[in-house]
């Protein structure tokens, strides 16, 4: 609850038009892209700069009001759902690209900038910002940093973390710090920059970031390999990497996923194949040609039904876009779509996909699987119906088993989506009690009053999904 006096102080900071506690206004920010989670905030605020954020944070800290920084809300872990009420903090006034530095290969941005705008601003001058979460056309950089977003190019180029080199942060005590710099090397104390990347808004509010850019690859080529069984596809993934080729993209889609994408896009995808690999290499022309030829050979030797290279960039772009629409396509099947991202060492992909299928069968639910095979980051996706309590219970059980299996195979409960409220109950599977205690010690050190996005990462009770409403 926000008192009239506190409300007046907040309005005093951001001005009237940037504070909204109407029912309609709050309802819009009561959920994000994650199914099963909805909870009303007490207010929504849109500050114009870090000084205002610092003042807001101090008030939240004083009155123990939860503060939930939110980009476009595209996350899939209920990371921006205000599960404990409080104030949702928007960055709509802090959405500028502040600088592109061609000499130091950096771009400095405010958190509200759209990811695709960063990618395009870099591309315009021959530079490359690789992280490309599927939601990049609408997600914000601030959200990407807080969730350490991945994407289709993670195998070769890494994830958001690998490109964040400096941050400006408002801490829970209202102090503003700057970490890192336009520096390839910096070991002045603990790596606060990387600690904040992926911290899901639980340690402070990121108000500015400097991102590393790299020279854009000259060219790229895309191929599609079809398989009659999942094992052969997984084996090809292993064989490609073992042959010392790191493709820019190495995506896996199972038959049900291909089917729904084709129904959605109608671009002539091979709906008869049991598994498809979408493989892309970029770089200098000679390297790309050589790698693609080697990959073709490996796939054919690995019992691919067919291997086809896209004949034009237009055709390649269609394939990439088709892959990116997987979630939207699957979402058409049933009222509720739960997309997970259990991740395993790439050597364990075949085992993991097989396990997912048998778990789905055991619990009689529908799971389609696709994902970033090159980095073992799978997206088992369940199409279901939230209103069917009995089925939802089976879905819960199935996902719990999937997470357990991933960890058993040396993997993790989340590769790129974050923990949020959704996977908090499973975190102990991966970290154990001591690991969680170590992380909680950090949380407590930075945010003793638990006002920064509370209820995220750390579960109140273990091993059960939290579905809260307020």
Map the footprint of a copy of itself across residues 21-40, applying CB under 8 A.
none
According to CB under 8 A, which residues from 401 to 430 bind a copy of itself?
410-419, 423, 427, 430
Which of 374, 370, 381 minimizes the C-alpha distance to 345?
374
SS3 146: helix
Q: Least CB distance from residue 116 to a copy of itself, whole Å? A: 21
Q: Least CB distance from residue 139 to a copy of itself, whole Å? A: 15
Q: d(Cα 276, Cα 288) in Å, to the nearest integer?
A: 21
Pick one of 116, 386, 397, 439: the residue that binds a copy of itself (CB under 8 A): 439
According to CB under 8 A, which residues from 82 to 111 bind a copy of itself?
101-105
Contact pattern for a copy of itself over residues 48 through 87, marking x by CB under 8 A: ----------------------------------------
**CA angle (298 as vertex; 296, 302 as ends), nearest 5:** 115
According to CB under 8 A, which residues from 122 to 151 bind a copy of itself?
126-127, 147-148, 150
Cβ atoms of 355 and 405 closer than 8 Å: yes
Q: Least CB distance from residue 183 to a copy of itself, whole Å? A: 6
Q: d(Cα 173, Cα 145) in Å, to the nearest integer?
A: 21
Cβ atoms of 41 and 82 closer than 8 Å: yes
Pick one of 155, 248, 382, 395: the residue that binds a copy of itself (CB under 8 A): 155
Choice between 335 and 410, CB closer to a copy of itself: 410
Contact pattern for a copy of itself over residues 311 through 330, marking x by CB under 8 A: --------------------
Q: d(Cα 465, Cα 301) in Å, to the nearest integer?
A: 44
Choice between 22 and 301, CB closer to a copy of itself: 301
Q: Least CB distance from residue 170 to a copy of itself, whole Å? A: 10
According to CB under 8 A, which residues from 224 to 263 bind a copy of itself?
238, 241-242, 244-246
According to CB under 8 A, which residues from 328 to 387 bind a copy of itself?
343-347, 372, 374-377
- Location of structure tokens 């997912």: 356
Choice between 9 and 58, CB closer to a copy of itself: 58
Choice between 105 and 468, CB closer to a copy of itself: 105
Give the number of C-alpha atoms closer than 13 A to the C-alpha of residue 154, restricted to the C-beta side: 24
What residues contact 378, with CB distance under 8 A and at least 6 apart? 252, 341, 342, 343, 344, 349, 352, 353, 356, 369, 370, 371, 372, 415
| Rg, the chain, Cα only | 22
Q: Least CB distance from residue 188 to a copy of itself, whole Å? A: 5
Q: Least CB distance from residue 436 to a copy of itself, whole Å? A: 8
194 binds a copy of itself (CB under 8 A): yes
Helix (H) or strand (E) holding 251, with range, is: strand 249-254
Considering all CA atoms of the chain, what is the largest pairwise distance in Å, rounded to the nearest integer? 72
């Amino acid at each position: 609850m926000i008192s009239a006096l506190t409300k007046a102080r907040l309005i005093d900071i951001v001005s009237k038009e940037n504070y909204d506690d109407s029912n309609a206004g709050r309802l819009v920010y009561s959920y994000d892209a994650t199914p099963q989670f909805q909870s009303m905030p007490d207010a929504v605020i849109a500050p114009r700069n870090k000084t205002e954020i610092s003042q807001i944070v101090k008030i939240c800290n004083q009155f123990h009001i939860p503060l939930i920084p939110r980009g476009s809300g595209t996350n899939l872990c209920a990371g921006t759902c205000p599960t404990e009420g409080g104030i949702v903090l928007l960055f709509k006034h802090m959405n500028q690209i502040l600088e592109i530095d061609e000499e130091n290969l950096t771009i400095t941005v405010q958190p509200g900038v759209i990811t695709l705008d960063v990618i395009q601003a870099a591309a315009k001058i021959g530079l490359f910002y690789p992280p490309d979460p599927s939601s990049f056309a609408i997600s914000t950089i601030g959200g990407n940093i807080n969730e350490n977003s991945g994407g289709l190019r993670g195998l070769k180029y890494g994830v958001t973390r690998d490109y964040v080199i400096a941050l400006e942060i408002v801490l829970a005590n209202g102090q503003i710090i700057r970490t890192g710099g336009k520096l390839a090397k910096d070991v002045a104390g603990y790596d606060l920059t990387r600690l904040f990347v992926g911290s899901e808004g639980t340690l402070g509010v990121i108000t500015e970031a400097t991102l590393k850019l790299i020279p854009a690859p000259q060219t790229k080529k895309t191929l599609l390999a079809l398989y009659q069984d999942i094992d052969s596809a997984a084996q090809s993934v292993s064989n490609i990497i073992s042959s010392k080729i790191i493709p820019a993209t190495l995506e896996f889609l199972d038959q049900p996923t291909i089917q729904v994408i084709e129904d959605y896009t109608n671009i002539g995808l091979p709906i008869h194949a049991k598994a498809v690999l979408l493989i892309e290499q970029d770089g200098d022309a000679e390297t790309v040609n050589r790698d693609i030829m080697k990959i073709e050979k490996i796939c054919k030797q690995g019992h691919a039904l067919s291997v086809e290279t896209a004949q034009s960039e237009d055709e390649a772009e269609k394939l990439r876009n088709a892959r990116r629409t997987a979630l939207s396509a699957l979402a058409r099947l049933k009222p509720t779509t739960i997309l997970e991202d259990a991740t395993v060492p790439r050597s364990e992909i075949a085992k993991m996909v097989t396990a997912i299928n048998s778990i789905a069968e055991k619990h009689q639910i529908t799971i389609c699987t696709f994902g970033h095979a090159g980095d073992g980051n799978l997206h088992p996706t369940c199409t279901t119906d939230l209103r069917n309590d009995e089925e939802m219970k089976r879905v819960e059980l199935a996902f719990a088993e999937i997470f357990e299996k991933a960890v058993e195979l040396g993997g993790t409960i989340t590769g790129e989506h974050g923990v949020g409220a959704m996977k908090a109950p499973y975190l102990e599977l991966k970290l154990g009690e001591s690991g969680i205690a170590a992380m909680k010690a950090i949380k407590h050190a930075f945010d003793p009053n638990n006002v920064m996005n509370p209820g995220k990462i750390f579960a109140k009770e273990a091993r059960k999904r939290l579905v809260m409403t307020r």
